[in-house]
Amino acid sequence: MRRILAIILPMILLAGCAGNTLEERVFIAHRGVNMSYAAAGENSLEAVRLAKRAGFKAIETDVRLTRDSVLVCMHDHTLRRTCLNPDGSRVDKSFKVEDFTMEQLKRNFVLRSPKEEMRTQIPTLEEYLKVCKEENLLVFIEPKLNDTTGRHYLDIISCADTIFGRGNYIVTSNNFANGVIRDTLGITDVPLMGILYQTTYEDIAGKEDVIMAISTSRFEQEAYAANVARSKADGLQTESHADNFERFDMINNAEIDYVSTDFLAPDWNGQGETVLTVKGRGQDKVFKASEACAALPSVPFGAIYLEMEFSGSAKVMLAGQEFALAADHVRSIRHQVLLSDMIPEFVLSDVSDDFAARHFKVRVVEF
């Protein structure tokens, strides 16, 4: 990824190939900030703008073809899960994206959201990338096409080249598209990301100018750490996806350059307005922080950040996510969850007799 680093550095402070700190990693809003439609429609232009507001530096989108060969941003091959009828009712049939023209898609469907103002039209790839360019976001483009000739991959690359310039975006896939781009089309100057559990390490690393996507769910801790270490030793950047504490904790203890997520907030670097900060040590202070969070009004769009140095065991509820803490020695953890029309819940329960909170900080931010 040296080519990307050289070009993108003025826009984003990225991590080096080794020894990156947590503050240097780049968070990717997976299909934009949609939070399973709670914040905005999946792969919508509004989800792009929310990602920028929240402090994301990168975004991922999916690409499919309409019947008239227009590239559109849509993950599924059908419209049932991600779309509604224009009147807000559910789409009750598995209509395929490829069976409609672009004009028919825009006329007959809107992207799913409980918020009427967020029920907007399915964007073309060109429309989507233009907004990403306006918001200064690094884009990961995932083709959802089994295009053996590479013709439509060339169309995707041409569209991205026009808006960003060659090398200023990443194509990511289940490794099929990556193989066609490198081996069939002979394109070597478009950065790629390969998904490790779906192929071999050698297959991805051999593509060159590539990011190694290492799954926190497909690999156990030991294998995960070994794959990250091998990638860093070979000078490759790394990516992992996380939406809950357990997987994010794996990332926090590894040299991961890109963190992809649907529900986590990006690292806080001053973005938004801080509406609450409570920090200190000891259980009493922790419980006061819990009371302070409960007293806050619902946050329309924001995040809650937790940092804690502890020993012993306890359960934590953070913005609807529950996870267990257990350590027979002092260890530090952090977690950060997006909020959409939610009271920023923070609750500590099932505290063991030997539990000690040596340091903690809770921050609630509204974007």
CATH number of residue 167's parent domain: 3.20.20.190
Single pTM value for the model: 0.93
Q: Establish if 266 belongs to a structural domain.
A: no
Domain C-terminal end among 203, 227, 261: 261
State the pLDDT at residue 1. Answer: 44
State the pLDDT at residue 3. Answer: 41
State the pLDDT at residue 24. Answer: 86
Chain position carrying tokens 């060109």 = 126
Is residue 210 located within the same domain as residue 230? Answer: yes
Q: Angle CA(25)–CA(343)–CA(55) in degrees, nearest 5?
A: 25
Is residue 312 located within the same domain as residue 246? Answer: no
How far apart are alpha carbons 92 and 104 in whole angstroms? 17
State the pLDDT at residue 12. Answer: 43
Is residue 330 located within the same domain as residue 199? Answer: no
Report the chain (367 residues): mean pLDDT per 10 consecutive residues.
40 39 85 96 98 98 98 98 97 97 98 96 98 98 96 98 98 96 97 97 96 98 98 98 98 98 98 97 93 97 98 97 97 98 97 94 98
State the CATH number of the domain containing residue 283: 2.60.120
Is residue 207 located within the same domain as residue 107? Answer: yes
Is residue 214 located within the same domain as residue 278? Answer: no
Q: For residue 138, how many C-alpha atoms fall within 13 Å in the half-sphere facing its CB?
A: 28
In the chain, the amino acid numbered 238 is: T
How many domains is the chain built from?
2
Say if CB 210 and CB 175 are below 8 A apart: no
Instruction: Give phi and psi for 295, each to the nearest 5.
Output: -80, -10
DSSP symbols for 171-223:
EEESSHHHHIIIIIS---SS-EEEEGGGS-HHHHHTTSSEEEE--TTTS-HHH
Q: For residue 94, how many C-alpha atoms fall within 13 Å in the half-sphere facing its CB?
A: 2
Domain that holds residue 319: 273-366
Query: Dihedral angle at the C-alpha atoms of 265, 270, 273, 277, nearest 10 degrees?
Result: 80
Quick one: 16 exposed, middle or buried, by C-beta within 10 A (0-12, 13-18, 19+)? Answer: middle
Domain C-terminal end among 224, 240, 261: 261
Is residue 359 located within the same domain as residue 247? Answer: no
Q: For residue 130, how many C-alpha atoms fall within 13 Å in the half-sphere facing its CB?
A: 5
State the pLDDT at residue 16. Answer: 35
Q: Establish if 267 belongs to a structural domain.
A: no
